[in-house]
Chains A and B, each alone.
Chain A
Amino acid sequence: MTALPYFYPGARLFAAPIDLNGAGRYVHWGVVQLSVANLVIIGLMLVVFMAALLLPFPRGRGRR
């Protein structure tokens, strides 16, 4: 499977430095089959969620 060839205007200018086309990488774990890309995204979501819970939030000026 190939991506569209780069023949249109601006193709070279806007070409991505990291090419995600080509054979996809997958992890298999029992019945689970997951692309590395999705795994990274899901992992990042969990990390960001945990960070949001754990990192101290700057305390603003109190009022009342």
Chain B
Amino acid sequence: MSGMGGAGGGWTGAVRRRVVRALPPEKLLPDTQPAYMASWIYVFGVLTVAALIVVLLTGGVLALKGPAWWHVSGAGKYVNGLHLWSVELFMFFMVIHLWGKFFMAAWRGRRALTWVTGAVCFFTSIGAAFTGYLVQQNFDSQWIAGQAKDGLNSVGIGAFFNVLDFGQMLMWHIVLLPLVLGLLAIWHILLVRWRGIVPPIDAATIDPADATTREAAR
């Protein structure tokens, strides 16, 4: 059996060719960038990714010892502090990244899906943080659950997503939402690498063929 275009390898070969064509290694991990990528605003994407990794790792340490550990151990309390502050940093960097990308209109040039996946990452992160507050097992959790149930019940979500059910919220917080957020973040980053860094608004490139300046992105 041969794949499309005469090349072999069946489905596997077809998928490999497609992946390599879309994201050849030098595009996935380039060692150069367009010269216009010269602003500190560009570092907030990678800072957000770094913070997400710290959030996942510190959450992982909390998971190792179980949900009650941090209430009864100084080391646990410190790891909980790491988890909280990495989340604060994650949201901090993500919002600045969002502001930056908005003012760059970074969705131009077939990059709308990159923007959309980024926005969904933001909403998923809010959900992940929210469920984190619910599973602290302290006064905060009790009050937030009691308040949030009204909002969620008022639109029918509370009937299925019960914020008063600690077990359900813990599973969402440590399994479902991190998984979805992780996958979305990977998709988002691959889209950035695939499409490349968005050129400046109204950027003109020097066309080497006729050496005329071409206006674009009007």
Contacts and interface: CB of A to CB of B under 8 A. Distances in A.
Tell me, yes or no, whether A and B come into direct contact in the complex with CB atoms closer than 8 A.
yes
14 contacts: A9-B73, A10-B75, A11-B74, A12-B74, A14-B75, A14-B77, A45-B96, A48-B92, A48-B96, A55-B40, A57-B39, A57-B40, A57-B42, A60-B38
Nearest to B39: A57
Interface string B72-85: 11110110010000
A41 B88 contact: yes
Contact of A52 (B32, B72, B100): B100
Contacts of B90: none
A15 B78 CA distance: 8
Interface of A: 1, 4, 8-16, 41, 44-45, 48-49, 51-53, 55, 57, 59-60, 62-64
Given A45-B92, A62-B35, A8 B44 contact: no
7 smallest beta-carbon distances between A and B, as pairs: A10-B74, A14-B74, A52-B40, A14-B78, A11-B74, A52-B41, A8-B72
Contacts of B100: 49, 52
Interface string B35-77: 1001111111000000000000000000000000001111101
B99 interface: yes
Interface of B: 32, 35, 38-44, 71-75, 77-78, 81, 88, 92, 95-96, 99-100, 138-139
B183 to A, nearest CB: 27
Nearest to B38: A57
A53 B41 contact: yes
A13 B40 contact: no
Contacts of A4: 71, 138
Given A45-B92, A52-B40, 19 more contacts: A4-B71, A4-B138, A9-B75, A10-B78, A11-B77, A12-B74, A14-B75, A16-B81, A41-B92, A45-B96, A48-B96, A49-B100, A52-B41, A52-B44, A53-B39, A53-B40, A57-B38, A57-B39, A63-B32
Contacts of A13: 74
